[in-house]
């Protein structure tokens, strides 16, 4: 994030629902040629939306649970040699 974003946010009026919109400041940075962006192909969630916020957390913890389970399996596999079973 460009450090000027914070100065720009202080100059902007509140947007939707009386909230300050970082997208408004990003638009100004773009117009001034100070913002570089890249398009990515990834799943995106709007965490300002309650349902999308929940979806993002479910996805995160589902992935984390799978990683933990596979790590636990590998650890157990190393600890218990086949001849011990």
Q: How many CA atoms within 13 Å lie on the side-chain side of 81?
A: 2
Tokens of 80: 């218990």
40-76, pLDDT tens digit by residue? 888 888 888 888 888 888 888 877 777 777 777 777 7
Q: List all residues 6 or more positions away from 55 whose beta carbon is below 8 Å from its beta carbon.
A: 45
**pLDDT (0 to 100) of residue 82:** 60
Q: Assign 37 to helix, strand or coil.
A: coil
Tokens of 56: 């993002």
């Amino acid at each position: 994030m460009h450090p000027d974003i914070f100065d720009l946010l202080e100059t902007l009026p509140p947007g939707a629902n009386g909230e300050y919109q970082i997208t408004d400041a990003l638009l100004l940075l773009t117009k001034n040629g100070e913002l570089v962006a890249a398009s990515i192909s990834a799943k995106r969630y709007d965490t300002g939306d309650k349902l999308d916020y929940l979806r993002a957390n479910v996805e995160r913890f589902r992935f984390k649970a799978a990683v933990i389970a596979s790590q636990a399996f590998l650890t157990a596999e190393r600890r218990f040699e086949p001849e011990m079973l």
